[in-house]
Amino acid sequence: MTGTTVMHGKPRRTAAGQHRAEPARTLHTGVRRPRSRRAAYLYLAPAVTLYTAFVALPWLHTMWLSFFTWDGVTPGTWAGLSNYAMVLADPALRSSLLHALGYIGFYSLLPIALGLVLAAVIGGRGGRRYPVSRTILFLPQVVPLVAVGVTWKWMYAADGIVNQTLRFLGLGSVTRPWLGDFTWAYVAVGLVGTWVMLGLCLIVFQAGIQKIDTSLYEAARIDGAGPVREFFAVTLPGLRAEIGIALTITVIAALASFDVVYVTTAGGPGGSTMVPGVLIYRLAFTNGEVGAACALAVVLSALIALVVLGISRITREKS
C-alpha cells in the first residue's frame, strides 16, 4: 500500500524503504507565557504592595496636604498653590535648595572621582588587591549616619582631633571651630558626606572592574599604554554603567541629606548649611507649617526625579 501519513515530524526513510515520521518537537513557550507572566506578577506583588503602602500613598498624601494651610492639629484651610509660591519666593527656602545642589559636589562628584582612582589602584587590571583597605573605606556605609554626625562634630570642635592635628603640624593659625564658622561650616559638612560616600563608590567601581575583559588590558599594554592611558582607554569606558549607578545613588543622598547636617550644625550657623531635609523638619514640627513643609517636600521630590532622569539619559549604555 502506497501512501503517506502526514505527521508533524520530519519524515525518515527506514531500512524497508518506508517513510517514518520523527516525533514532533513541541514548543511550549507560547502556551506557558501567560502562566509565567502571572507567576512574575505574584512574585512582584509583595514588593509592590509594600512600596504602594509606605511610599506611593504617603507621597500622594503629602502632595494633598501641600494644598492646605495646616498646623498639624487644628483643621486646615484650602491654600491652593500659595505654599508652592512661597517655596519658590522665600529666599531661605530657595537657598536651602541651592545648598542641596551644592552638596552634589561633595556627596557625588568628589567621591566618584576619588573612587575611580582608588578602584584603579586597589583593583587595577581586573585584579583583587588590598581587601583590607577596601573594607576600611566601606565602613562608613555600615555606621549609622547619626553616629557619623556625632563623631565628626566632636572631631571638628575647637579642641577636636582636626585642630589638634593642625597644631601638631605647625598650622595652628588655621585652626577654628569649623562647624561654627560661617565660611567653612558648609565645606566641613560636605567633606563628611565625601567620607561617607567614598567607600560605596569604591565598591561599585571595583565590582565593575571585575567584569572588564582582561584581554583589553593586555592589548593596551602591548600597544605601549601606561597606567594613566590604560585607565582612560579601558577602565573608564568599561565602568560607564557603574558610574551611572554611583552617580544616581550619591546625588539622591546629596539632595535628600538630613542626618549629618541636622546632627552637626542643624542648618547653622546663620542658615549657611541649611538643606531642604532640615528645613522640612523645622517647618512641620517646630513652626507648625505642615502645608509649606509638604510643598517643599514635593518640590524636592520633583527635583530629585528630574536630576536622576537626566543622569540616566547621560549614562545610558549605547545600543
27 membership: H or E segment, kind and range:
none
- pTM, two decimals, is 0.79
Backbone angles phi, psi at 19, to 5 degrees: -90, 140
Distances (CA, A) of 87 to 83, 90, 298: 6, 6, 10
Q: Is residue 237 assigned to a domain? A: yes
- Residue 124 is predicted with a pLDDT of 55
Q: What is the mean pLDDT of the segment spanning 52-70?
A: 93
- Residue 228 is predicted with a pLDDT of 86
Domain containing 98 — which CATH number? Answer: 1.10.3720.10
Q: Is residue 56 assigned to a domain? A: no
**Could you give the number of structural domains in the chain?**
1
Domain boundaries, position 194:
84-315
Strands (E), 71-161: 77-78
Q: Is residue 50 assigned to a domain? A: no
- Residue 187 is predicted with a pLDDT of 95
Confidence check: pLDDT of 19 > 80: no
Convert the pLDDT of each residue in 193-220 to its tens digit. Answer: 999 999 899 989 988 888 888 888 888 8
Convert the pLDDT of each residue in 68-104 to its tens digit. Answer: 999 888 888 999 899 999 888 888 888 998 999 999 9
Q: What's the CA gap between 88 and 79, in Å, rounded? A: 15
- Residue 142 is predicted with a pLDDT of 86
Q: Is residue 292 assigned to a domain? A: yes
User: What is the band of 7 on the pLDDT scale with cuts at 50, 70, 90?
Assistant: very low
User: What is the band of 315 on the pLDDT scale with cuts at 50, 70, 90?
Assistant: confident
Convert the pLDDT of each residue in 253-299 to its tens digit. Answer: 999 999 999 999 999 898 899 999 999 999 999 989 999 999 999 99
Contacts of 300 (CB under 8 A, 6+ apart): 97, 100, 255, 256, 276, 277, 280
Q: Is residue 73 assigned to a domain? A: no
61 membership: H or E segment, kind and range:
helix 57-65
Confidence check: pLDDT of 249 > 90: yes
Q: Is residue 119 assigned to a domain? A: yes
Q: Chain-wide mean pLDDT for the chain?
A: 84
Q: Is residue 144 assigned to a domain? A: yes
Confidence check: pLDDT of 319 > 60: no
Q: Is residue 65 assigned to a domain? A: no
Contacts of residues 228-234 at CB distance under 8 Å and 24 or more positions apart, as own/partner, are 230/125, 231/120
Please name the amino acid found at residue 39: A
